[in-house]
Amino acid sequence: MEKLVSLCKRRGIIFQSSEIYGGLSSCWDYGPLGAEMKRNLKEAWWQKVVRERKDIVGLDASILMHSKVWEASGHVESFSDPMVDCRACRRRFRADDVEGDRCPVCGGELTDARQFNLMFKTFMGPVEEDSAVVYLRPETAQGIFVNFANVQQSMRMKLPFGIAQIGKAFRNEITPGNFIFRTREFEQMEIEYFVVPGTDEEWHRRWIEERLQWYIDLGLREDRLRLRPHGEDELAHYAKSCVDIEYLFPFGWAELEGIANRTDYDLRRHSEYSGRRLDYYDEESGKRVVPYVIEPSGGVDRALLAFLVDAYDEEEVRGEVRVVLRLHPKLAPITVGVFPLVRRDGMPEKALEIEEILRPHFNVFYDEKDSIGRRYRRMDEVGTPYGVTVDSQTMQDDTVTVRDRDSMEQERVHIRELADYIREQISSWRRPEHITEEVWV
Ligand code: GAP
């Protein structure tokens, strides 16, 4: 993890938030390359679950919502963790992280556990009074539930159908940590998939498989992924059952995404609290039903961390350590590096022309500084899958070499065919077999 955190900082992927003021605990900023990678990740999700499906539509609801939403959803009452404080050193812990009744750091006496609500509270408007209280949403899901009827009617959706959303969520976590794994501000990718009651368990199974496959297709190693059903005692207040997709991070197995069966809990509660009908008229049976909901809910930042961890590799090449991020080309922040072999003989001008040809199609980076070997290494380190080099032959026949990040092999391709060639390489990419297997735990 240390190597990855330092690579992320050095190469403009992730920075500590407010660093010049000493940083703000557990808050992180995505740098230019991190922002690109995060966009690619969200795009891959949206493409798979919205654009490629007829039965799911997207939504972009506001972060601030009526405070009644959080009463109806049960978050005001139940979205809390038990917390204990050390009377001696004043450190604060989640009660379930502490064994016994003494402080794990200084051995001091601990207070009794009390419930700590994880929602961030603020006030809307100039007056700080109870009626002005609003919360920063702790999950994007509620924006979907309160818009159930709007979406269903405006888009004439028929059961089963889903609504998908990507957006920020906020939780005042007692013990954030592990880089971007657990933070107080993060992004979620959530689907609420509405089904006919009675078909919910079958749909739950299907969504578990579907979501697991998405991570595998984007390159995560299968042996670092597992499914873990929740025990009765850890189910959220709204869930009948839940299965987590877990990844083997350097700090152990941990949740990437939860796929819950939320039953009709949310629609019924919002209907009750708002007085509005939130059900579905089934034309075939002539009956009204309150749909059940299957919810695949993943974290953008956690997924990004898993993809980075999984992609990180070091290998020895000609007596030197090569650091390489073997990211799926669809996730890599830069897709193509363009280089003149040397800074003379018209090669930089030719390479700049190629950069312009490729720019509308891919995220391209031009580099002419240092030896070609060093430039390749810089690209390997940030996971750039393809390197296009202009050499003396290019000046004669308009062909370039295309270097593959994983195999380091090069092929000669005509400039005219370059964009198609790269597109073809992206769609046929497979994780290399020979990747170094490091044992994390
Ligand atoms: N709507 C359901 C829901 O929010 P959750 O299991 O609490 O369920 C879903 O959260 C996903 O959001 C998690 O699997 C995780 O990827 C991400 N997530 C939750 N809390 C997080 C945090 N503090 N920091 C980063 N990601 C978080």
The type of residue at 145 is: F
pLDDT in tens, 174-215: 889 899 999 999 999 999 999 999 999 999 999 999 999 999
Give the span between the Cα atoms of 78 and 187, in whole angstroms: 22
Comparing 112-126, 153-167, 196-210, 361-375, the range with the smallest average pLDDT is: 112-126
Q: Which atom of ligand 1 is nearest to the CA of 244?
A: 14
Q: Which atom of ligand 1 is nearest to the CA of 171?
A: 23
pLDDT at 417 over 60: yes
pLDDT > 90: what percent of the chain? 86
Determine the distance separating the centroid of ligand 1 and the alpha carbon of 189, expressed in angstroms: 9
Determine the distance separating the centroid of ligand 1 and the alpha carbon of 140, expressed in angstroms: 10
Residues flanking ligand 1, CB < 6 Å: 139, 141, 171, 173, 182-183, 186, 188, 190, 255-258, 295, 297-299, 301-302
Question: Whose CA is closest to atom 19 on ligand 1?
Answer: 299
Biggest CA pair distance of the chain: 79
The predicted model gives 151-161 an average pLDDT of 97
Instruction: Using most ligand atoms within 8 A of CB, pick from 142, 188, 215, 235 the residue to mutate for ligand 1.
Output: 188
pLDDT > 70: what percent of the chain? 98
Label residues 334-369 b or e (16+ Cβ within 10 Å = b): bbbbbbbbeeeeebbebbeebbeebeeebbbbbbbe
Instruction: Determine the pLDDT at residue 424.
Output: 97
3-class DSSP state for residue 426? helix
Question: Whose CA is closest to atom 20 on ligand 1?
Answer: 182
Instruction: Determine the pLDDT at residue 434.
Output: 59
Contact 137, 145 (CB under 8 A): no
Instruction: Determine the pLDDT at residue 432.
Output: 83
pLDDT at 441 over 70: no
pLDDT in tens, 286-313: 999 999 999 999 999 999 999 999 999 9
| Residue 163 pLDDT grade (very low, low, confident, very high; cuts 50, 70, 90) | very high
pLDDT at 80 over 90: no
Q: Is the pTM of this model over 0.85?
A: yes
Instruction: Using most ligand atoms within 8 A of CB, pick from 165, 186, 234, 251 the residue to mutate for ligand 1.
Output: 186
Q: Helices (DSSP H) in 195-299: which residue ranges?
A: 200-217, 265-274
